[in-house]
Chain A
């Protein structure tokens, strides 16, 4: 890729892919003290530039002696998109900290937090109920709990006293990080003074109010969002001005247009992130805030249609560089795909997608326990594992090395075959574990049943297509008393 004009702002820097372990090693203490538990400083440097360790993992660096080294290393390793922290304590969230435009070039850090809105004219009971929902919404996905991350409190009243009271209520009801949303500096001042120690994000500085908002943010030392809908040039100007003002914890909202203007939204987010990651443009080197909630300000449509639009807008923004989202819908069908896609997008694309092959034991299986088989694609394995554990089953699960392919792909690609199953049964000496010779294969591998019976001499039972059906399948079809040799 080539660009026709020179970088606008910022000196020549190396991208994370160009930084070599030697670059980092030169700036480390080079004492091989081992306090980081690595073999030596070079090993530490290698893992540092790989994103596996942080500067904080090298204790000597943080002593007076190495002050200059730390500063130089911090500069070397700084992501082109700054990291901004919102909230304090255990539930604080970090946003931004991105090194690359595309995840395959390194990996994305700091999964985009999702904030849900409440407003200052909500009746107290409704407000508390909504906060309770935000706190409780969660989904267990391959062993991880996916949750919502923040509350965005909007001033609909425009009244400082009303807003201040609402801020107190929300702060008392939840320890989640807060975003205080009002474009009126007087309202902001009133609300912020209640919770400034919790480091909320101020939303937002605009062309009209930037000076007063800057003063408030400076006085309270809290991060400030900058709002310039559909106007990247204005956004840059505001950022420049606010940086001159002494503010460095900024979050950029280029405007989210879910209907007309969706294309501009995608273009703006992309342009800004490309400028930061490819040109090291410092004025655009801040986290981006997407607000799918804005679809609710458009045409009057049925609620489900608006929710549908919000779901789609949110997913587009997650893929297109939003480092944080503010949403309105609390419906599971709107939020679930966002939480899962966010989790997926922020996995490390350099990590293998497979788990180790072999025989896994669940519960306390005996010789009459069922034997199941699956592939070593990580998501396949963890899904099956979750289902077996959830049902407290006692069984053996054979994991076949299919090169990290799912059952369906591995059957189609001839990695999960009668021969592969036969090899696995022999290699792992499965016959010695149980007193029967019945193997349950995935429903998606049903076509292999005949060949597999021939190749292995085992009786093949075709299990369910989805592993959630395993408990019921075993109840209905597993009769160990008939299975003795």
Chain B
């Protein structure tokens, strides 16, 4: 499994596209900066929703109002993050795909996207879903806390990629 991943990374790293990304000096820093700016947008949007669900801000408005405001920013920014991330993976396959921090980041990302859907789905059928019953309000706090921890974990794992890099560059 690891051997075929390694072979794939070797192959990818020698494609013209990958070589271009590696050798044109401003591409990786620029794409990384875009990636980080998008992280700012996404994390702050998730933070606002989670702070509302934790009942720490905006108590005069329903959770659904906060979700309606900030969820689009999460999903649209995720698209840009996936595109910029893919560029970075293509440019440095081993540094990403064979890196335990990156692998952890992807697992956490799947979990965070799932949590975001868990928050959003019930609101489609019932905008008062997270507000109406006290037990659900308690559950909302747990869901929000888990969601926040996951996004924070993703940011940490992302930074640690540089420190657990086996590509030796």
Bound pair (A, B): no
**Could you list which residues of chain B lie within 8 angstroms of chain A, going by C-beta atoms?**
none
